[in-house]
Amino acid sequence: AVVSTQSTGNKGMRDRHWEQMSKIVEFSIKPDNDTTLRKMIDLNLEPYLEKFEAISEAATKEYGLEKAMAKMVEEWTDMEFIILPYRETGTYILSSVDDVQNILDDQIVKTQTMRGSPFIKPFENEIRDWEEKLITLQEIIDEWLKVQATWLYLEPIFSSPDIMAQMPEEGRRFNAVDKNWRDI
């Protein structure tokens, strides 16, 4: 009876777990508002306690993964990218991405580890989607920083009237890229 009360009080127990347990005993044992310890004892569930324990343990591990996933999503709630004005150019640059990069790296590793867990099945699609979002964001930031670094290198060069006069074709191409960069 102790294990069955542990199962009923387990925060990780979901309908699917109660259905598994009910299937074992061939009748519904999902607790409701009228469930008491006496009623659980009267169901004579002792022969099934070992199987119930395994289901309850799996529910606990699944719940841990579910909470870890929710915590990762929550970490992004107040996350903001810092943009700063760049000189007198009238445009802004992405700055201080170290915190974002650290969270991304950490969460990508966590999601890959979670996907390897035998208890991830109920959340497998959700964790795959989350991992895909993280990887996509990582790729966007990487590309953004590459383009930004190139722009930061070329902008002072092509701001010079002398360079524009010496390299008019390259200057026109830079001006087209510069306009796109500023629009972004």
pLDDT tens string 80-136: 999 999 988 888 999 989 999 999 999 999 999 999 999 999 999 999 999 999 999
Q: Are 150 and 93 in contact (CB under 8 A)?
A: no
Q: Are 12 and 62 in contact (CB under 8 A)?
A: yes
pLDDT at 143 over 80: yes
Predicted pLDDT at 88: 84
List 94's β-bridge partners, or say none: 83
Per residue in 42-65, pLDDT (tens digit) is 888 889 989 999 999 999 999 999
Q: Give the integer Cα–Cα distance in Å for 11 and 65.
A: 13
Residues in the chain: 184
Predicted pLDDT at 7: 60
Confidence category of residue 2, pLDDT binned at 50, 70, 90: very low
Predicted pLDDT at 5: 53
User: Across all residues in the chain, what is the average pLDDT?
Assistant: 90
pLDDT at 32 over 50: yes
For the chain, the DSSP string reads: -HHHHHHHT-TT--HHHHHHHHHHHTS-----TT--HHHHHHT--GGGHHHHHHHHHHHHHHHHHHHHHHHHHHHTTT---EEEEETTTTEEEEE--HHHHHHHHHHHHHHHHHHTSTT-GGGHHHHHHHHHHHHHHHHHHHHHHHHHHHHHHHHHHHT-HHHHHH-HHHHHHHHHHHHHHHH-
Confidence category of residue 77, pLDDT binned at 50, 70, 90: very high
Average of pLDDT values for 29-46? 84
pLDDT at 37 over 80: no
Nearest to 16 by CA among 119, 114, 118, 122: 122
Predicted pLDDT at 6: 58
